[in-house]
Structure 1
């Protein structure tokens, strides 16, 4: 029964750790979401600035996964150059390692202080930014509290012969240990949580230094999988970015696993305290990736483009409805507004296509407009569904009104598309089918022009061509060509 209670406490501490990470991410995004995105976009002028931007953003969000998803969404919209986006990812990995150092500090009272400040700040503020900052501080306090709980739960494990035997067996099976750590990081959607857990096990003497190196490598590998899965629907550029990050981490993890014994011996000689071993390996691993792969951004981009080519047909679907920012209403509303403007562009194409269909016979004009109208209907439905997923508790009166306006505007655009398809497209199709032609407009000075009250009325001749007449014939009998004005 005691072992069951310890397992429940350990799982609860892990859940609290992940919830603290979520609170930090959502709090920072709600407080500085739009500014944070603009700052990342502007801070990518060169590869060094891009890496620094990724590092700072990850320190603020406490999650390289969140930074990866945001950067991938920028890359898919061509806001960030793909090579600079990869530099942001390398910097984000280092930011996660620095966050692990901060969270591993032995400050028991700090967690209680952060929880107190976070609750007071969240409840006392009336503004979204103040509540977001309070939420982030509360999340930091919960993370530190969760680490204390993990430390207390794992204390009795050092006397457990079963745990020692299992982990000892993992030391003799490095591939399985690598896969186990990667699976844990993927399940938790955070390499940071797994690295901190490995650090506690190393401090307790349960994990040997060489095994700690392999587990840290696996945690870094597994942490690159959630962003790759989260941006599958974002577009080719986003998939290239996350795939490149997964490839880079995979190469580093395999190399570190092969070199685990000498690396563990080297780090243990420099840092004799076991608690610092896993954290130091984590930081050194990501710094090595940054140093090695930062000069190789161009070859990495070419390789990802070769493995993930652009589709021949343009990708359809929503481009700006980012599911990862639904916790931040301001950013979600901005994306929905941009998507609605994209719908207006499609409606404008429909109007232009209908005008071209009226000017000259185009047999496939109606089918083309029907396809565009289907796109308008699909996007309008996606926008409405996306806005219904917003966290309504975080919407103030202005945001709620803006959400309603976006939905109303999208619905009106969908109605315009239906009118074009059912009205102008039908007229253009009849004109092409019946071979109805408009004569050219006569010059302004034509004698047949009439002037009245400074307004000019030009006579326009419309010729109705009989399908039985030869093509290009000027006359075709009495029932061949007739004109009306």
Structure 2
């Protein structure tokens, strides 16, 4: 019993080591790997090579599958290059299995020792995360040694021999067991390494080991398909194509398996080397043979998984891939894309509000309320998604980005509620009093509304790019909006003094809408403060004021002059009411 427990713990250590390596590499180089894969779509051989390189680095074809499916789901990559990347990932896994079975026992204690020092002394830095990767590689090498040591006494147990004797070389049965093995270990690499160890200990015959290896490949394809279950149909097609390629490989090798086994056994190598060599040869030949067919496979997968029609109802998130939560750079990119989608919905609400303002469009009002429900749903989804991220492992820049995303999401949700509140206020006024705004008043509200939409777009751009020049420009626009808001308020009061009947009848709702737009503008401009909170800057010069030129409304025209950017220190946050 103790021997079996030692073996299971060694297997668990192997799985944990591959997990540490994968997460460490993705946390340090996740954005670079995304860039490398996204730039590999120019031709299929390049995409195939990129898949090999990325998988060799992260030691997990599942991590590569995660990147490829997210690219396709987000529309950043076509399906055919993504399938070529997945074929390369299979070869990369086989290459790493070969490397890890070399005689590297001396390297394990060195990597663990140096990795622990780096990780504990520089935990929140790239160097510290690289130490984490060293620990993972050291644990993998140590686990392989422990598996060999634990398997030795097991080979002498009659019960274990009887158990493995049930696997008699039936390829389909062995492949099924191998697939289950890969699913349980959550890694085809771990399953192949363990199979090689079992073969070296003579617990399984070579034909059985080959079947287990083929099944482990299929198991990794099933894992990728399960991980992509929350993706759109476009993202799931990548995992489906990869799984179909693995099943086709099984069907192709079945007629020649006996001949292949006879040839392999004639080679002067030990069983573990033969298993690893077969894995590398099988994956390389299979993937090179399948590479020219990726366009046909892409068409087949598109036919098998068509886009589902939109059934209406509350919007659901498109980019919040749960499998990416262990990779901060990827998860934050997903959350940022979903947040921008919320911003687009708020912009649509403003556009429909304009129709209600001018024409009392009832359908536009219903659309605004429906869009607000969508904003609320996506806000909740992004908030819960970010809450599940392991924040203790975030680097300083990632933690800052996390805060920016959650703050903008909350602000946009508040903005959606405010637009719906403005709609209710406007519709109640028109329904109760059957009064409309004066021509000048309607023109003023339209003018302010247009500037509000422009500031929303600029604010979303600042959030996406982090550009400091645009952030300063956004603060200038905030000051311009506030000056314009005061000018239009004064113009409305002037019309009241001139006894303009329509202005008298709509005065309360007119001024309330202006105040609400002012609050919305402050919300839209808040993203600039996150970019410039450590920097002193000024939005407009103190001399920005009324210069006395009367406009057509009888008030002073404003001439705005950009200020020296270092004139005024910015407050750390924006107050919702613009103060």
Tell whether the structures are fold-level matches, with TM greater than 0.5: yes
Match of 1:162 in 2: 159
Backbone CA RMSD of aligned residues = 2.7
Task: Give the equivalent residue in structure 1 for 2:202.
Answer: 205
Between the aligned partners of 1:291 and 1:325, the Cα distance in structure 2 is 29
Q: d(CA) in 2 for partners of 1:378 and 1:194? A: 40
The count of residues paired between Structure 1 and Structure 2 equals: 449
1:302 and 1:429, CA in 2 relative to 1: closer, same or farther beyond 3 A? Answer: farther
TM-score by length of 2: 0.72
State TM-score, norm by structure 1: 0.86
**1:44 CA drift (Å):** 2.3
User: Which residue of the partner structure matches residue 275 of structure 1?
Assistant: 272
Give CA-to-partner distance per residue, 1:295-339, whole Å, 9 cap, x none: 001110110011100112189422333333433434433332332
Structure 1 spans left out of the alignment, 5+ residues = 444-449, 459-485
Higher relative contact order (CA 8 A, sep 6+): 1
Q: 1:183 aligns with which of 173, 180, 186?
A: 180
Q: CA deviation at 1:88?
A: 0.5
Q: 1:331 to 1:308 in 2, by over 3 A?
A: closer
Query: Does residue 394 in structure 1 map to residue 393 in structure 2?
Result: yes
Deviations 1:112-142 (A, max 9, x none): 1111121122123265211111101110000
**How far does residue 253 in structure 1 lie from its aligned partner after superposition?**
2.2
Deviates more, 1:177-186 or 1:265-274: 265-274
Q: Which residue of 2 aligns with 1:7?
A: 4
Where 2:106 maps in the other structure, the secondary structure is: helix
Does the aligned pair in 2 maintain the 1:30–1:328 contact within 8 Å? yes
In structure 1, what is the equivalent of residue 426 of structure 2? Answer: 427
Preserved contact between residue 18 and residue 59 of structure 2 (Cα < 8 Å): yes
Q: Which moved more, 1:264-273 or 1:55-64?
A: 264-273
**3-state SS in 1 of match to 2:319:** coil
Q: 1:433 to 1:18 in 2, by over 3 A?
A: farther
Match of 2:128 among 127, 131, 134: 131
Deviation, 1:358, is 3.0
**How many Å apart are 1:257 and its aligned residue?**
4.2
Cα deviation, 1:190-241, whole Å, max 9, x if unaligned, reads 1111111111121122222221221111111111111111111121111111
Residue-by-residue CA offset, 1:54-84 (whole Å, 9 max, x unaligned): 1110111010011101111111011111110
Q: Distance in 2 between the 1:332 and 1:209 partners?
A: 42
8 Å contact 1:18–1:193 — kept in the other structure? Answer: yes
* Structure 1 residues 126 and 188: alpha-carbon distance in aligned structure 2, compared to 1, 3 A threshold: closer
Structure 1 partner of 2:71: 74
Inter-partner Cα distance in structure 1 for 2:238 and 2:399: 34
Q: Deviation string for 1:73-114 (max 9, x for gaps)?
A: 111011111110110000000000000001111221111111
Q: CA shift at 1:41, angstroms?
A: 0.9
State the shift of 1:258 in Å: 4.7
SS at match of 1:43: helix
Give the secondary structure class of the aligned counterpart of 2:552: strand
Question: Deviations for 1:225-277, whole angstroms, at most 9, x for unmatched residues?
Answer: 11111111121111111011111111112333453322211222345321211
Q: Secondary structure at the match of 2:165?
A: helix
CA distance, structure 2, for counterparts of residue 366 and residue 270 of structure 1: 77
Please say if residues 220 and 253 of structure 1, whose CA atoms lie closer than 8 Å, have aligned partners that are also in contact.
no
**Partner of residue 479, structure 1:** none
Alignment CA distance shift 1:149-1:404 (3 Å) = same
Q: Which residue number in structure 2 is paired with residue 216 of structure 1?
A: 213
Q: Is the 8 A contact 1:376 1:417 kept in 2?
A: yes
Paired position in structure 2 for 1:469: none
Indicate the residue corresponding to 2:284 in structure 1: 287
- Does structure 2 conserve the Cα–Cα contact (< 8 Å) formed by 1:362 and 1:432? no
Within-5 A mapping of 1:440-459: 454-457=550-553
Give the superposition deviation at 1:166: 3.0
Q: Deviations over 1:134-192 (max 9, x none)?
A: 10111000001001111111112333333333333311543322211111101111111
Residues 428 and 246 of structure 1, relative CA distance in 2, 3 Å threshold: farther
Deviation at 1:396, TM superposition (A): 4.6
User: Which of these residues, 45, 60, 66, is aligned with residue 42 of structure 2?
Assistant: 45
- Tell me which moved more, 353-362 or 44-53: 353-362
CA 1:337/1:346 → structure 2, altered by over 3 Å: closer, same or farther? same
Taking the aligned partners of 1:437 and 1:301, their CA distance within structure 2 comes to: 57
In 2, Cα distance between equivalents of 1:265 and 1:228: 34
Structure-1 separation of matches of 2:35 and 2:291? 23
Distance 1:253 1:276 in 2: 21
